[in-house]
Structure 1
Amino acid sequence: MYNSFRKKMFGGDNVVNLSDVRYLPRWIILVIDIIILVISLFLSTYIIEKITRSEFIYHREKIVIFAGVIFSNVMFMYIFKTYAGIIRHSTFIDLFKLLISCFCTLFLVGTANIICEWSTGKEFIINPFLILYFIISFMGLFLFRLYVKEFFHIVREYRRSTLKKRILVLGIDEQSIAIARAILDNPSLPYHVVGFLTQRTDSKRAYLLGKPIFAKEKIEENAKEELLIDGVIIIKEMMSKDEMNSWVNLFLEKDLNIFKAPSVQKLRDSDFAGSIRNLQIEDLLNRKPIKIENEEIKRRHFNKNILVTGGAGSIGSEIVRQVAQFNPSLIVVLDQAETPLYDIELEMKEKFPHIRFKFVLADVSNKHRIEPLFQTYNFSMVYHAAAYKHVPLVEENPHEGILVNVLGSKIIATLSSKYNVNRFVMISTDKAVNPTNVMGASKRAAELFVQSLQNVEGNTTKFITTRFGNVLGSNGSVIPHFKRQIEAGGPVTITHPDIVRYFMTIPEACELVLQAGTMGQGGEIFVFDMGEPVKILDLARRMIKLSGFEPNIDIKIIYTGLRPGEKLYEELLSDDAKTLPTHNEKIMISKDPTIEFLEIEMLVNSITKASLRRDKVEVVKLLKIIVPEFRSNNSIYEVLDK
């Protein structure tokens, strides 16, 4: 304390902050306690004299009796070290020590009084005085500690509230109260809870944890400045998607920050500070995940050898993570991207040290590099996620897209059949449906080839295709792109104001892949219920507002025009397709037209040769023969459709 005070006095800072004072010396606490005892003694004397209107001390020297009482009390306070604790952090144990010391004083003086009465026939002080003194002295010592503790709490809270974000907690249920209590009990968090928010209208005068409860209409009727709050903390798991969107729209309209807290079940004291974060656009797009049959999936992977191509990509790496949970005998992770492959190697060895991995740097279109893997490891499952997926780049380099997406798929699929892999699961895309670009058409060609292998004589492998839309957070997807643009101060670029897309999460997409791998009987294309499509312009506006900016004021939105091969609306089913339900209501089977193996093999061989010659026009022309519904859009290859 002295050093803190000295620094304030001579360090140029003339403000002594009470919340910075560490603690008072013990002797000062003891002196204050003695003063309280003396005051209690005189107060007890005054009350007894007013009540009895007669002598209550039967001794010639009152001062001797008073000194004896005070001495006894101080002695027991010393014995129980009632002055040793830091008052602002007083606990029940500290108060219990006070009670015991006062009671021992009462017992000692009372016992002496009884002995005096037995020996002389007369007590030296009346017992009601001792009881009154016991009550008043204990209450005085207790209130002193209580007031000091509360005073420092008020000073500390006031100081914190001026530096921290003033927030409301959404909800008045047990989960919300638990989160609010955790924040209030953690002084290191940069949040100050000023109240609770609810849709109910019968709680306006109620309080929780000493904080008022606000109705939704109060937020609707007042501006942010009138509310004197900076943001709201929500628990996403406690709300439906529609409820969350309704609240978020209101908060964004009022320019309030929105923070997401974990549920109580996920709450851990050690990482609570890091678990509260700004609400992300992914939180609003998430849907209820599909239910996967873990037992069946585990049976397919437990003690088996698994190959994942494109295993360093966003989808492939998540497949690796999920498969590793089922304790396979070996996971071979294959990718041609060196740095991402090294990153996933480090991650897997740290997270799953008990699992055997092999990380292979290779191109799926190089059969001489790939076949030895099938010869050596006797794979039970193959997940084929390797592909070129960026529409403009593949549109500019169609020959490269064919070599990876079509030839690479052909090599992996035929080797799977040759070496009797139990199941082959290919990752496709909604852009393969009525494609308007080379990338989508190349994936559709790969689908056709993989399907055709199912009925080849002697084949025992079950060939399964999964088809889904955009994946949140995947490499090159729109959301990370928008985030980078917003962080850079804008502008946010959108190709067209009316463009819409389906979205799903990476774990959700990979759960579909694993589920399809177990439920497929061979030759199916599984499509996923993607929910409602999202307008990209609305997505950008919400991302800007969630980042604390105003669209077209702080962050500009500009339109760049549709890119080559891009279309406004993505589809999951072709015009000729029919769907069949499965036992999982979120997964359907698309019955698309197929091609016989000999025909598709001949066409794939032809387009592969054209790709090796780097003949772009011939490549696209042959691709349009393989995929008759392929109609180029906003592309130089539109002339081939005439």
Structure 2
Amino acid sequence: MKKINLRKMFLALADVFIIVVSGILANYILSLVGYIGTVASKGLLSYIVINLVMCLFTLYISGTYSKLWRYFNAKDYMVCGIAVFSGFTLGFVISLFLQIPQRKIFCIVYFAIALVGILAFRFVFRKAFLDLTEAGRAEGGERTLIVGAGNAGRMIIREIHNANEQNDVNNPSKNIIPVCFVDDDLKKLNQKIEGIPVVGTCPEIVKICDEYRIDNIIVAIPSCEEEEKRKILDYCSATECKIKIIPYLGELLFDDGHTQLISQAKEIKIEDLLGRKPIEFDRKEIHDLINGKVCLVTGGGGSIGSELVRQIAKNNPKQIIIVDIYENNAYDIQQELVLEYGTKLNLVTLISSVRDYDKMELIFKTYRPELVFHAAAHKHVPLMETVPEEAVKNNIFGTFNVATLAEKYKAKKFVMISTDKAVNPTNVMGATKRACEMIIQYKAQHSTDTEFVTTRFGNVLGSNGSVIPLFRRQIENGAPVTVTHPDIIRYFMTIPEAVSLVLEAGAMAKGGEIFVLDMGAPVKITTLAENLIRMYGKVPYKDVPIIFTGLRPGEKLFEELLMDEEGLKSTQNKKIFIGNQIKIDETDMLSKLEVLKKTAENNDSEKTVELLAELVPTFCHKVND
């Protein structure tokens, strides 16, 4: 409070000096040009005193002394100018009433000099402050906007003040220069929180960041709803600032009843922009499924497969068997688990292909898995358009091999991972995955010992082959970001969500179901690219170009999660649904599979696509220009 009073006093004294000197200077200037309208020294002094008192009064009641000069904007300069004009007008009226000698030309020149002086003083001081701030920033300080002027925001300011008072150079708060708050509570507007002003609302974030030269944004609303947080992050991501988020209250770490918020602030993640709450799953049900079981994961080194292995490992399995054809990925997840669990986890890593029936049978015969999670597949859409026979060999007949062996060796459950691209597929990869779904439903129709189930979801953020890693590489290498079409949209989920869906589906499975996740609203890929560029502190289309390359072979503008005839049934989890089972003509399907297998083994690409279309009636092959 003392600092604020001293600041007001200094600013008022500067105004006193400017108004007094302006009167003397105006009189002197007019005397130099021989103007007869100059006032006598007695009248001059009286007139200056009256104007001084009136100007200080109008400046005070207009709030200009409550506004820090570093936050002055065009509106504040205008208010200040009106206050000076009002003060001189009152002074002129009072001097007329008191019959103090005056001349209109003198009043005009006096007002003009005083107005310029008062506004120039504030401008110079504001610039000097910002220059000093820039120097502070060069030493590591970041001009910071705090979103949320509630308890969390107040705690952050106190942290910063404490760090500065203690001169703790290792404290992350030491490098932060709090500039202002924004808050959607209009009652807080123009108030001060721990001396820092609330200057606007969340929709004004872009304008405020530009006006106040903000480097860093901290979103300090740990109790806000997911939809509200997404809107705030949309505003923040439209700036060039770095963004950090205070975690939800339940995620904060407290120490003896206190917590340091800034050290727990997290960088914004792309999944924060999905526009829906994270999907919650029944952890007890998943634990009961895994506990004490031998679990086999095909494609266990991939992005989905490796996360499956991680989550299975947390639920006390009897044994985990990782099967993957790519040894580097398999080795990576193996070493990760060895480092974390040591000898506590019974882990077997096998380099094998699901295409090799005899080798897969040896694995089933040796380890007798009770739970089989089938994640192995070729998933890259454009590459599979080039070699459709390989997609058929790996996806369709690899699935057929593993499913057949799971049934033969009486595994309790078989969970296959499918994709939304299997619905009314327009590409080879999607068609092969739909064929896989048909195989699983066929197996479910006559299997007595094994429960066969399919999980279907959209694109997985950060998975191998997804757009996010590609966009990141392009941005980090200074290359343009490539998007196939400005209007292309996709459903997205996180890798942990996808894997939890797989595990809970396995727990729910009774046989033959296709589990579908309610993934919320689809996301426009162009918007995703723009937000990711902003998260790197760059401006889309300016710092990083976005180039539209055209739809790739077999690619659709939008994906679907259900076929028309499937419909939906709800489950105990409000976000998980079951597509109705479609009756499979076993004789017809098996005969078509036999012909398709021979054609694919002969590497006849064109004929393979034709036969795939016969097998999958909903396949409408598109070859984009």
TM-score where L is the length of structure 1: 0.70
Q: Find the partner of 1:170 among 130, 133, 147.
A: 147
Q: Secondary structure at the match of 1:308?
A: strand
Query: Which residue of 209, 212, 220 corresponds with 1:224?
Result: 209
Q: RMSD in angstroms over aligned alpha carbons? A: 2.7
Question: Does the 8 Å contact 1:219/1:227 carry over to 2?
Answer: no
- Give, as a single letter, the amino acid of the residue that structure 2 aligns with 1:630: F
Give the 3-state SS of the residue equivalent to 1:425 in structure 2.
strand
- 2:436 counterpart residue number: 446
Sort the Cα spacing of 1:337 and 1:217 in 2 relative to 1 into closer, same or farther, 3 A.
closer
Corresponding residue to 2:588 among 587, 599, 604: 599
1:350 alignment partner, SS class: helix
8 Å contact 1:257–1:548 — kept in the other structure? yes
Match of 2:407 in 1: 417
Whether the 8 Å contact between 1:365 and 1:403 is mirrored in structure 2 is yes
Aligned length: 481
Q: Is the 1:203–1:215 contact (alpha carbons within 8 Å) kept by the matching residues of 2?
A: no
Distance 2:221 2:197 in 1: 22
User: What amino acid maps onto 2:209 in structure 1?
Assistant: K
Offset at residue 252 of structure 1 (A) = 4.1
2:252 aligns with: 266
- Which residue does 1:215 correspond to in 2? 200
Shift of 1:183: 5.1
Distance 1:211 1:370, change over 3 A: same
Given residue 251 of structure 1, which amino acid in structure 2 is its aligned partner? C
Shift of 1:290: 2.7
Q: Report how far residue 488 of structure 1 moved.
A: 1.9
Rounded Cα–Cα distance in structure 2 between residues aligned with 1:593 and 1:419: 26
Shift of 1:281: 2.3
Structure 1 residue 609: deviation in Å? 1.4
Judged with a 3 Å threshold, the aligned counterparts in structure 2 of structure 1 residues 169 and 623 are, in CA distance, closer, same or farther, namely same
Alignment of 1:6-405 (within 5 A): 159=136, 163-182=140-159, 185=163, 187-188=169-170, 189=172, 190-204=175-189, 206-216=191-201, 219=204, 222-235=207-220, 237-263=222-248, 265-267=251-253, 276-285=265-274, 287-353=276-342, 354-405=344-395
Question: Could you report, residue by residue, the CA deviation over 1:301-350 in whole angstroms, capped at 9, with x for unpaired residues?
Answer: 11110001111111111111111111011010111111111100111112
Note the alpha carbon deviations across 1:241-267, whole angstroms, 9 max, x for none: 332233233334454332233346434
Q: Which residue of 1 aligns with 2:548?
A: 559
Structure 2 residues not aligned, in runs of 5+: 1-131
Sequence identity of aligned pairs in percent?
42
Which piece of structure 1 moves more, 422-431 or 246-255?
Answer: 246-255
Displacement of 1:547: 2.0
Q: Which amino acid aligns with 1:551?
A: P
- SS of the counterpart of 2:501? helix
Report the CA distance shift for 1:192/1:420 in structure 2 as closer, same or farther (over 3 A): same
* Mapped partners of 1:510, 1:217: distance in 2: 35
2:369 aligned counterpart, secondary structure: coil
Residue deviations 1:1-48 (CA, integer Å, cap 9, x gap): xxxxxxxxxxxxxxxxxxxxxxxxxxxxxxxxxxxxxxxxxxxxxxxx
Q: What is the distance in 1 between the residues matched to 2:246 and 2:435?
A: 45
Q: Measure the CA separation in 2 of the matches of 1:521 and 1:308.
A: 20
Matching residue of 2:8: none
Cα separation, partners in 2 of 1:329 and 1:607, compared to 1, 3 Å: same
Question: Against the structure 1 CA distance between its residues 271 and 439, is the aligned structure 2 distance closer, same or farther, given a 3 Å change threshold?
Answer: farther
Q: State how far apart, in whole Å, the 1-side matches of 2:360 and 2:564 are.
A: 36
Distance 1:268 1:337 in 2: 43
**Inter-CA distance 347–272: structure 2 relative to 1 (3 Å threshold):** farther
In 2, the alpha carbon distance for the partners of 1:291 and 1:250 equals 27
Letter of the 1:312 counterpart = G
Classify 1:309/1:400 alpha carbon distance in 2 versus 1 (closer, same or farther; 3 Å): same
Q: Distance in 2 between matches of 1:495 and 1:158?
A: 44
For residues 421 and 274 of structure 1, do their structure 2 counterparts lie closer, same or farther at Cα, with a shift above 3 Å needed?
farther
Determine if the alignment matches structure 1 residue 512 to structure 2 residue 501. yes
- Equivalent position amino acid for 1:408 in 2: G
Against the structure 1 CA distance between its residues 158 and 386, is the aligned structure 2 distance closer, same or farther, given a 3 Å change threshold?
same
Partner in structure 2 of residue 88 of structure 1: none
Of the structure 1 ranges 549-558 and 224-233, higher mean CA displacement relative to structure 2 is found in 224-233
Q: Distance in 2 between matches of 1:606 and 1:496?
A: 37
Greater mean deviation of Cα atoms: 586-595 or 371-380: 586-595
Q: Looking at CA atoms only, which structure, 1 or 2, has the larger radius of gyration?
A: 1
Q: 1:463–1:553: structure 2 CA closer, same or farther, 3 Å change rule?
A: same
Aligned to 1:31: none
In 2, distance between residues paired with 1:356 and 1:220?
A: 52
Q: Structure 1 regions of 5+ residues with no counterpart? A: 1-154, 637-642
Aligned twin of 1:549 = 538
Alignment check: 8 A CA contact 1:427 1:467 kept: yes
Check 1:454–1:286 CA distance in 2 against 1; reply closer, same or farther (3 A cut).
Answer: same
Q: Deviations over 1:473-509 (max 9, x none)?
A: 1111011111111222231111111111110111111
Shift of 1:378: 1.9
Question: CA offsets per residue over residues 118-158 of structure 1, 9 Å max, x none?
Answer: xxxxxxxxxxxxxxxxxxxxxxxxxxxxxxxxxxxxx9999
Contact 1:454 1:462 (C-alpha < 8 Å) held by counterparts: yes
- C-alpha change, 1:365 and 1:421, in structure 2 (3 Å) is same
- Residue 207 (structure 1) shift: 3.9
Q: Cα deviations across residues 176-205 of structure 1 (Å, max 9, x unaligned)? A: 444454455363324333343321222245
Q: Distance in 1 between matches of 2:204 and 2:544?
A: 26
Which amino acid in the other structure matches residue 303 of structure 2?
S
SS of the residue corresponding to residue 607 of structure 1 reads helix
Structure 1 letter corresponding to 2:232 = W
Structure 1's 348 and 253: CA in aligned 2 closer, same or farther, altered over 3 A? closer
The TM-score, its normalising length taken from structure 2, stands at 0.72
Deviation at 1:161, TM superposition (A): 8.2
1:384-406 deviation line (CA, Å, top 9, x unaligned)? 00000000111111111111100
Q: What is the identity, as a one-letter code, of the residue corresponding to 1:198?
A: D
- Residues 368, 181 of structure 1: alpha-carbon distance in 2 compared, 3 angstrom cutoff: farther
CA offset at residue 534 of structure 1?
1.0
Q: In the superposition, relative to structure 1, how do residues 588 and 157 fare at CA in structure 2: closer, same or farther (>3 Å)? A: same
Choose the corresponding residue for 1:500, options 486, 489, 492: 489
Aligned mates of 1:477, 1:337 — CA distance in 2: 18
Q: Amino acid of the residue matched to residue 617 of structure 1?
A: E
Change (3 A) 1:156 1:468: closer
Q: Distance in 2 between matches of 1:248 and 1:552?
A: 20
* Cα distance in structure 2, aligned partners of 1:606 and 1:236: 60
Q: Structure 1 residue 238: deviation in Å?
A: 3.1
